[in-house]
Amino acid sequence: MSKLIIRPETEDDYRNTETLTREAFWNVYRPGCMEHYVLHCYRNDPAFVPELDLVMVLDGEMIGQVIYVRSEIVCDDGRRVPIMTFGPIGIAPAYKRQGYGKHLLDYSMEKAMELGAGALAISGNILFYGKSGFVPAKTKGVRYADDPEADYLLIRELEPGFLNGISGTYRDPAGYFVCETDPEGFAQYEATFPPKEKLHLPGQLF
């Protein structure tokens, strides 16, 4: 019988986790990917939530990872409502579309709830996140700051009613843009991995 566990990431995992993230995201949203560098840099960011830095291990093999980051909704009345976002979340290519991603997400959301997060926002695919209770954020009064009509900004209440009466905007935390703000650092980091072919594929966003 196979043994599946979800546990906190340890320092010994770091390279393995980043390799997994690189494999999971490679050529999915753009030729190559950047998410492994985002993960690499986030662990030192004050917004990073160490308790929700999780890996999924199947029979001793790491097959999934997720991290969480503190973020906020900026309300039209000036209030700032702390929430969380998450990602990168990745499943090793050989294990995608077998339910592991949903299991990891649902488990980590339980943990986020235990830590007191009232809601989670993420820009992503409703076909995946909708299965875990996410809805377009604009239906809950939360607009994507740089693209107010976006229906790909998704949100999920962890505390029922947490978003009641809210009208405001959401911006991805600065750490998600590290590859744009530090292209040289990213290039040096990427050079530490074995070369991998970057492909232009249908469905990529960038």
Ligand X SMILES: CC(C)(COP(=O)(O)OP(=O)(O)OC[C@H]1O[C@@H](n2cnc3c(N)ncnc32)[C@H](O)[C@@H]1OP(=O)(O)O)[C@@H](O)C(=O)NCCC(=O)NCCS
Contacts of 40 (CB under 8 A, 6+ apart): 14, 18, 189
Does residue number 30 form part of the binding site for ligand X (CB under 6 A)? Answer: no
Token pair of 175 as six digits:
């750490």
The per-residue DSSP string of 134-149 comes to -EEGGGGTEEETTBTT
Q: Nearer Cβ to ligand X, position 127 or 191? A: 127
Does residue number 200 form part of the binding site for ligand X (CB under 6 A)? Answer: no
Does residue number 25 form part of the binding site for ligand X (CB under 6 A)? Answer: yes
For 64, counting Cβ atoms within 10 Å of its Cβ (0-12 exposed, 13-18 middle, 19+ buried), the class is buried
Query: Strand pairing of 135-136 and 61-75?
Result: unpaired
What's the closest the beta carbon of residue 164 comes to ligand X, in angstroms?
A: 26
Does residue number 102 form part of the binding site for ligand X (CB under 6 A)? Answer: yes
Q: Which residue is nearest to ligand X (CB)?
A: 101
Report whether the peptide linkage leading into residue 173 is cis, meaning its omega lies within 30 degrees of zero.
no
What's the closest the beta carbon of residue 118 comes to ligand X, in angstroms?
A: 21
Does residue number 24 form part of the binding site for ligand X (CB under 6 A)? Answer: yes
Please identify which residue in the block is written with the tokens 């998600």.
176
What character string, x for contact with ligand X (CB under 6 A) and - otherwise, covers 123-162?
-xx-xx--x-------------------------------
Q: Which of 90, 118, 168, 175 binds ligand X (CB under 6 A)?
A: 90
Does residue number 175 form part of the binding site for ligand X (CB under 6 A)? Answer: no
Name which of 128, 47, 46, 60 is nearest 89 in CA terms.
Answer: 128
Does residue number 96 form part of the binding site for ligand X (CB under 6 A)? Answer: yes
Residues of this chain that bind ligand X (CB under 6 A): 24-25, 28, 87, 89-91, 96-102, 124-125, 127-128, 131
